[in-house]
Amino acid sequence: MIQVAELSEADLESSYQASVVEPLKAVAEVGALGKCSLGIYVDSKGRGLGRHHLIVRVRDGHITVKARAASPTALLDLEGCASRKYEIDYFGTLDYSISSEVTLRAGEFEIRPPAFTPARVWDSIEEGCPGVWRQLRSAVQSSGRMEIPGVAHMYSAEARLKHPTGARVKEASVAVWFFPPTDKFLVELSFTGFVKDRADMDRMYTELGARLGAAGLLRADQSSKTQQYFAAYFGVGK
């Protein structure tokens, strides 16, 4: 997570270069932002699904069901749907995750409440991937009243890392998210690599982090985008 000056969506087009691209020049060449896309998460105010190490997210025409925890033994081994991924995530600390994607039908991706509700998310998961719904159902039923607390406005840009190992990453990008109607936002520089390159990716992560820290560009809050979404809307970070 990158520390930048105050940023607002209303003047993003005029301030993006000076607020995001220029400060990051020491570690990356960052391209132009793409169009805004929308994203939501579903959970109870008490983060009941989060306590089960589960995340449910809707964006880009699909639902992502993700199990994420600091220990792989705490994870629910989700069944595969349209796709399944096993990842190691770094948010200041190490997390393991398993995610399964459920593709939405054409025309179904109007996620703004009240048209899109938690019940509709569960129905879509059950229809698109019954196996995952069977795994998820008990956690949903025991986690309290489910909510979609807000719709995040998400922008992204491709990035090229200035590091000897940078050419070997799978992809690198900058994300800029806003959480209307709050004044909260985040800017994240991220990259993904392959397991075979893990040692080199770990080293690059540490070295780039040190350079960003020395330049005063690391935000104090290094929690994930998921946690910051719920912090913005529910006032909680976990």
Q: Is the dihedral of CA 147, 151, 152, 158 positive or negative?
A: positive
The token pair that represents 199 in the structure block: 């040692």
Distance of alpha carbon 120 from the chain centroid: 21
User: For residue 23, is pLDDT > 50?
Assistant: yes
pLDDT for 237 equals 45
Q: How far apart are CA 66 and CA 55, in angstroms?
A: 5
- HSE of 169, CA atoms in CB hemisphere, 13 A: 21
User: Residues 193, 196, 200, 205: what is their CA dihedral angle, to the nearest 10 degrees?
Assistant: 30
> How far is residue 97 from each of residues 16, 46, 69, 82, 183, measured CA to CA in Å?
31, 21, 7, 17, 30
Tens digit of each residue's pLDDT (9 = 90 or more) over 152-180: 999 999 999 999 999 999 999 999 999 99
SS3 230: helix
The token pair that represents 209 in the structure block: 């982090």
Q: pTM, whole model, 2 decimals?
A: 0.92
- Please, are residues 54 and 77 in contact by the beta-carbon 8 Å criterion? no
The one-letter code for the residue type at 224 is S
SS3 223: coil
Could you tell me the pLDDT band of residue 238, with boundaries at 50, 70 and 90?
very low
